[in-house]
Amino acid sequence: MKRLTLRDIEAIEVGAAILGTGGGGNPYYGKLQLFEQMKKGGVVDVISLDELDDDAWVVSLGGIGAPAVSVEKIYQGEELCRAVQALERETGRKVDALISSEIGGANSMKPMLTASQLGLPIVDGDGMGRAFPEMQMTTFSIYGHQSAPSAMSDSHGNTVVFTHLIGEIWLERLARACVVQMGGTAGIAEAPMAGVFVKRFAVPGTITQAMTLGYAVKDANRDNRDPIAEICRRESGSVLFEGKIVDLERFMVAGFTRGKLQVEGVNGFSGDHATVDIQNENLIFRYNSEVRCSVPDLIVILDLETGHAITTEVLRYGQKISVLGLPCHPLLRTETALRVIGPQAFGYPEVVYRPLAEHPAHP
């Protein structure tokens, strides 16, 4: 078990924003709330999958809504506490540990805040190894977990429990309809899982991964080293493009932030252009109109100078960016997983997923 420090949380904020592939919400506000909780004496205890008891009851949780909304509508801070407590009332059993539904963005911070508030450990892992826009897109759901009963709560205290679902996609559909009425953001906790299941199907070690990645970026900036090269080295990634944002479409629809980013090349990419399709997260990267990276691999947009992630809700015309491709965890590349989180699941029938390593590298 590791007890996190304020400095660790700072590093996780940086690393989780990178792993969020543009989505998951900006972790900054969640970090501030977690800091306040820790300053009042709260602690965040992280346990590894190996430390988790096979018969432990583990709840996957996180925020639901559009990242663009979270810029103006800050979480009240106890949404997920209310959701977990509603689950305990519904099931009649206390929860033993929490795990993030996705390590990306703000959904790295919110579960840690809730764990501290409830006095529970947080498991070093998550259900995505990145961020995805829809709730059935976790490794837990992909590999057989039934998410009902689930509970969600908004900033006003409204709490909804979904007691029965005929399929995992229905939690996404019903919860998305609810979150629109709740103002665009809410917290949701899904049905408890046995520890033995979590050990097998969680993406392992992602809190540690985010923290290590964050420290590496911060250290590189301090020492005047290239933080982007450091990210690529640690995550076996590659620079897909460097350029300036010349056009940005971004709009809210059905509880999602959707849009497209157009970039003109700079440095070694001068004269070329690229686009990134967005649904909360960065989904498809095209280089001169050719697909060079797609979900479930990670498409990460960074500030060209600092290597800090730029999430979809704060993208702006004129920003100079680096677009990285990072390989996803093997749990996300199986045929079973690709049916749920591959390009065709997002409405791209013409795009066939190819692992990042199989795409041509920039000369």
Residue 173 corresponds to which tokens in the numbers above? 């559909």
Give the global pTM: 0.94
Q: Three-state SS string across the chain, please? A: CEECCHHHHHHHHHHHHHHCCCCCCCHHHHHHHHHHHHHCCCCCEEECHHHCCCCCEEEEEEEEECHHHHCCCCCCCCHHHHHHHHHHHHHCCCCCEEEECCCCHHHHHHHHHHHHHHCCCEEEEECCCCCCCCHHHCHHHHCCCCCCCEEEECCCCCEEEECCCCCHHHHHHHHHHHHHHCCCEEEEECCCEEHHHHHHHCEECHHHHHHHHHHHHHHHHHCCCCHHHHHHHHHCCEEEEEEEEEEEEEEEECCEEEEEEEEEECHHHCCCEEEEEEECEEEEEEECCEEEEECCCEEEEEECCCCCECCHHHCCCCCEEEEEEECCCHHHCCHHHHHHHCHHHHCCCCCCCCCHHHCCCCC
CA distance 201 to 199: 6
**pLDDT band at residue 119 under the 50/70/90 scheme:** very high
**pLDDT band at residue 28 under the 50/70/90 scheme:** confident
251 versus 20: the higher-pLDDT residue is: 20
Q: Is the pLDDT of residue 195 over 80?
A: yes
Q: Is the pLDDT of residue 70 over 70?
A: no
The closest of 286, 298, 287 to 341, measured between CA atoms, is 298
What's residue 363's pLDDT?
A: 59
235-278 pLDDT, tens digit per residue, is: 999 999 999 999 999 887 766 778 899 999 999 999 999 999 99
Q: Is the pLDDT of residue 141 over 90?
A: yes
CA distance 9 to 13: 6
Residue 268 CA: distances (Å) to CA of 243, 272, 280: 9, 9, 29
Q: Is the pLDDT of residue 94 over 90?
A: yes
Q: Find the mean pLDDT for residues 307-331.
A: 95
Domains, the chain, in order of start with CATH, read 2-206 (3.40.1610.10), 226-356 (2.40.390.10)
Q: Is the pLDDT of residue 71 over 80?
A: no
Q: Is the pLDDT of residue 58 over 80?
A: yes
Residue with tokens 């924003």: 17
Number of Cα atoms under 13 Å in the Cβ half of residue 170: 11
What mean pLDDT value characterizes the chain?
94
Q: Is the pLDDT of residue 345 over 70?
A: yes
